[in-house]
Structures are given as structure tokens and as C-alpha cells.
Amino acid sequence: MKRPLIAFGFFAVAWLALDVATAEAAPCLVVTLTGTHGGPQQPFNGLASAGTLIRYGDDANNCGIVKLQFDVGRGTTMRLSQIGVGTEELNAVFFTHMHTDHTEGLVDLVLSRWAFHGTGPKIDAICSSDVASPQGFTVSCRNFVAHMADSFIQSGEIAQRHSEVKERTAGGPSELVNTITFDPRDEPQVVWSSGDVGVSAIRSTHMPGHASYRVDTPAGSVVIGGDAASDALVPPRRHSTSDQVERLAKGADIIVHSVIHPIMGPGMGSDMYPYAYYRQSTATDVGAMAQRDGAKYLMLTHLIPSLGANEQYPFKIPGRPLTDADYRKAVQDGGFTGTIIVGTDLTSLRVPTKQ
């Protein structure tokens, strides 16, 4: 009986010593949903479109050494301003895909850097390399970034502002972006890193070039699924979630994922286009995936339909508007036993949680 007690005593002392050594600068991670509205163009109730801010650091700098923005939907800069994060503080933006509800806030974000921080530093933009769609056109994040301010160049606005303040470079905001592209693959690949923070990407299905990301830090790991869905675009299929995202998220602490509620499915009365329904992951299947992955937290975002909405224009909401409890139940139906966070704009999660 004596030996185990001595061993326990030794480890207890070692644990205390470690605790003291790291207490002044305990690493921490904050995940903030900068926009939770899903789908193109039709705004609802002032919600911003898709985006997730991930901050990493330690207690001494309020978890703020590295700031990464995943997707930049409409209203992103407004939400960042509400939490006191200046656009010039971001190290990098990542795009899951080129649908406008995930991208249209970029020009706003980079224009604000260009107007007052034109000498840099540049911001990294990480996204898929050019990909040919089955219909024969090209999906190009690189071109999107290069031409994001073309309308303001055409209007003369960029030249006007440049004539007033030379630090606002003549070429406009695109010159302030360092675009980094990668070919999405079925296995994770590191696409960006800085110090303790590494970001990996994996191919996922939604539209051509869609990718999902995982951020690993000493404080924890977060997966950003984006609008990922199963490679099998129509039933029969085992689930609506992406097998690649499931691999990427194995052992992750937090999964942030777009969801569609099963009531929007074909035959339920929403009249939603079946292809648009099937290319999203259902809240129930995301719950089941998060359980298989062993995630502690599941943050739902890009909710289709939005909480309290009477319609998901132009589609109907069968029955009554959905509540937080409806999404929670859908996730629990999938068997998830961790913490469910039904996202609304500026919902935040910090790990480790503050005592």
C-alpha cells in the first residue's frame, strides 16, 4: 500500500510545480461566431453572414497573439468592431468556399486596412487553388482576391483616396493581400502556421473547391467544417456529413459546423430545392459525427433556417419558426453528449473555460 501513496505524492508535487510554472501565461483559445446567417443574399434580423474568428494567446494578452478569420460573410467587420478587434489585427483569412455568403465581406475588411494601414503588413488569404466546375467554368479564389475592389477602381474611388494619402497604394486593397492557395486533398495538409498555431485543410464537398480546416494550438483544437456535406450528394447515403471532415475532427476539442434542420428536407413542406438541402449537413448528422469524433463542444452556425424566421426565403418553414431547443434536440437525436452551442452572432467559447 505504501508505494502507490509515495508515487501519488511525487506526481502531486510535480503537477503543482508545473502549474506554478505556467500559471502566469496559460495558453488560451477563443472561438467567436462573427456571423451565423446561412444562404445567399436575403438578410434576416440583422444577422451577419458566415464567419468564425479564432484567437489564440495566453492570459497575459487576453488570448490575442494570433487572430484568424474563417470565412468573411456580410457584416464581418461590424461584428469584429463590436468585440474590439480591428481589421488590421487579423493575421489571416481562410475561405471554405467561394459562395457569396462566405466571401462578400472581404472587400469591406481589406478596404478598411488599406485606408488606414496601407503600408501593411499584408494579410494572408488562404483558400483552394483554381478548380474547374463540372459545368465548365472556373472557381478561382485567387481571382476573387485580385479583383475584389475592381468596382471601386472603376468608380475612381481608389485613385481618389490614393491621391489624398500615398500610403493607400495605387493598386488598391488587393495589393495588401498575400494569397496562398492549396489543392484540397482527402488527407489533412498543413496550409498555414505561426509559432504554436498550425492550420490544416482537407477536401470536402459542397461546391467545387470547398475545404474544411482544423486549428491546433497548445490550448486546444478547433475544426471549421464550413458548409461541408457528404461526397454522396443524394440519398441513399450513410449520413449527410463529410467523411473527410470526420477524419479531420478526430480528437478535436471543438467543432464549428454549418447545419440545416431536417424539417427543411424534401417532402416536409419547405419546397426547398433538393440539391440545396442535400449539399448541407443536417444538425442530427453533425451531432452524430461530433460524438464519433469525441468532441467536447459543438458550435452550430450558418443555421438554415435562422432561429425565429418565418421563412428561409424563398422557402417555407414547415410548422412554426425554429427555436434554440429545436436545434438542440436535432443534435441530441444524433447522439451527441457533449456541450451544444446553438450559435448566434458573437457567441463565443473560450478554452480552457475561466473558473
Contact by Cβ (8 Å): 76, 105: yes
Pick the closer one to Zn ion by CB: 280 or 284: 280
Query: If we measure between CA atoms, which residue out of 285, 343, 355 comes closest to residue 31?
Result: 343
DSSP state of 340: E
Task: Please report, as residue ranges, which positions from 122 to 161 form the binding site for Zn ion (by CB under 5 A).
Answer: none
Which C-beta is closer to Zn ion: that of 41 or that of 193?
41
CB of 228 to Zn ion, least distance (A): 10
The distance of closest approach from Cβ of residue 302 to Zn ion in the complex, given in angstroms and rounded to an integer, is 6
Q: Which residues are registered as beta bridge partners of 297?
A: 254, 339
Separation between Cα atoms, residue 338 and residue 287, nearest integer Å: 9
Min. distance of Cβ 258 from Zn ion in angstroms? 6
Segment near Zn ion (CB under 5 A); pick from 168-176, 221-229, 240-248, 273-281 = 221-229
Q: Which stretch binds Zn ion (CB under 5 A): 3-11, 98-106, 185-193, 234-242?
A: 98-106
Q: Which set of grid coordinates corresponds to residue 320?
A: 412554426
**Min CB(280)–Zn ion separation in Å:** 8
Measured CA to CA, the distance from residue 71 to residue 34 in angstroms comes to: 9
The CA distance from 340 to 304, in Å, is 17
Helix axes 283-293 and 324-333, enclosed angle (nearest 10): 50
Distances (CA, A) of 100 to 40, 108, 264: 6, 13, 21
- Which residues share a beta bridge with 180? 126
The nearest distance, CB 167 to Zn ion, in angstroms, is: 35
Cell of 317: 418553414
Is residue 101 part of the contact set for Zn ion (CB under 5 A)?
yes
Contact pattern from residue 58 through residue 97 relative to Zn ion, giving x for each residue in contact according to CB under 5 A and a dash for the rest: ----------------------------------------
Residue 82 C-beta: closest distance to Zn ion, Å: 22
Residue 256 contacts residue 289 (beta carbons within 8 Å): no
Task: Report if residue 104 touches Zn ion, rule: CB under 5 A.
Answer: no
Shortest distance (Å) from residue 294 CB to Zn ion:
26
Taking alpha carbons only, the member of 136, 57, 56, 70 closest to residue 299 is 70
CB of 92 to Zn ion, least distance (A): 20
In this complex, which beta carbon is closest to Zn ion, that of residue 53 or of residue 219?
53
- Of the two residues 74 and 113, which places its CB atom closer to Zn ion in the complex? 74
Please identify, using beta-carbon distances, which residue of 96 and 244 lies nearer to Zn ion.
96
Site string for Zn ion, 222-261 (x = CB under 5 A): -----x----------------------------------
The nearer residue to Zn ion, 64 or 274, going by C-beta atoms, is: 274
Residue nearer to Zn ion on the CB measure, 146 or 207: 207
* Size of residue set near Zn ion by CB under 5 A: 3
Residue in this structure with the C-alpha cell 501513496, named with its chain if needed: 5
Nearest CA-CA partner of 241 in 270, 198, 284: 284
**Which grid coordinates are listed for 191?**
496550409
461566431: which residue's cell? 33
- Judged by beta carbon, residue 99 or residue 239, the one nearer Zn ion is 99
Could you list the residues that contact Zn ion (CB under 5 A)? Answer: 99, 101, 227
